[in-house]
């Protein structure tokens, strides 16, 4: 059984035994899992599910059957502002093995993608950061590859906090946003010998900053902006369904719902789970 709430704005639920998902699971005898679907709209609601699926969106599609899974990783050191010594992180980490554009691997220092014994590195999902933050060398490499993939498209004056911007008309558009190549996050599977991919499509990789300009929606976090090398922000997960299966230590994710011409605001609140 799932308990369902409509949501607006940003959510945060820690991955720990005193976290809200665990408390709710204990109180209502539901599985230790929740799913979120954040909408890009400022006038409509996204949704959060506590407990098990189905996750039915209008006109009647159950997206629990489309989830692809990757392990949730434990960072042995807390990444919060204040913590006790020896306390592990309650943030949600995933194992990014590489990043691709047009199936070509972006040349980055892959050691930054691993979580060290002292809690540095790795990739976490944030519902606090509005845009994905990258350690400087990763940001520079990804930006260079992205700009190279659009070598024939002229850039325009950047709009802070972004450094790479284009005219809307020069990019054109498609079903899932501006006409740009997707960002492919190659994720480790449980056995660490196979991989799956999470594609960040056009609407999630680009940000509309005004009526004429869209910008590459990733920001430079600095050389050591925080212990974590990649922090996936809310813009990159809008209109994607994410399931945080705490009990089974895995993250389920879909591609952009925009491919089916629906958004996270299309959840069917009349469906009984």
Break the chain into its structural domains and give their ranges.
Answer: 69-258
pLDDT score recorded for residue 179: 92
- 69-258 belongs to which CATH class? mainly beta
pLDDT at 190: 76
The pLDDT of residue 5: 45
Sites in the chain below the pLDDT cut of 70: 1-11, 13-30, 80-86, 192, 224-225, 268-273
- pLDDT reported for residue 267: 79
pLDDT digits (tens, 9 = 90+) for 112-129: 999 999 999 999 999 889
pLDDT of residue 52: 80
CA distance 29 to 170: 53
Question: Is the pTM here over 0.85, yes or no?
Answer: yes
Q: Are 9 and 238 contacting, i.e. CB atoms less than 8 angstroms apart?
A: no
* d(C-alpha 238, C-alpha 223), whole Å: 27
For 23, other C-beta atoms within 10 Å of its C-beta total: 12
What local confidence, expressed as pLDDT, does residue 4 receive? 41
Q: How far apart are CA 76 and CA 214, in angstroms?
A: 38
């Amino acid at each position: 059984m799932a308990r369902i709430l409509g949501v607006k704005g940003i959510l945060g639920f820690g991955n720990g035994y005193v976290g809200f998902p665990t408390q709710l699971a204990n109180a209502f005898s539901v599985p230790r899992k929740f799913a979120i679907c954040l909408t890009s709209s400022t006038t409509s609601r996204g949704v959060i599910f506590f407990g098990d699926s189905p996750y039915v969106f209008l006109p009647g599609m159950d997206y629990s059957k489309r989830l692809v899974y990757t392990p949730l990783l434990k960072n042995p050191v807390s990444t919060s502002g204040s913590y006790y010594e020896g306390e592990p992180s309650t943030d949600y980490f995933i194992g990014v093995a590489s990043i691709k554009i047009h199936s070509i691997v972006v040349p980055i220092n892959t050691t930054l993608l691993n979580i060290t014994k002292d809690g540095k590195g790795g990739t976490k999902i944030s519902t606090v950061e509005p845009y994905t933050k990258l350690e400087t060398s990763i940001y520079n490499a990804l930006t260079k590859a992205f700009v190279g993939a659009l070598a024939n498209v002229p850039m325009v004056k950047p709009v802070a906090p972004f450094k790479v911007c284009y005219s809307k008309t020069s990019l054109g558009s498609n079903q899932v946003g501006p006409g740009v190549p997707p960002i492919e996050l190659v994720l480790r599977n449980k056995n660490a010998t196979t991989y799956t991919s999470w594609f960040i499509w056009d609407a999630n990789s680009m940000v509309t900053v005004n009526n004429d300009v869209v910008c590459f929606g990733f920001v430079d976090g600095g050389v050591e902006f925080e212990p974590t090398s990649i922090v996936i922000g809310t813009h990159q997960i809008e209109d994607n369904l994410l399931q945080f299966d705490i009990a089974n230590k895995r993250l389920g994710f879909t591609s952009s719902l925009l491919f089916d011409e629906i958004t996270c605001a299309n959840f069917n609140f009349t469906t009984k789970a």
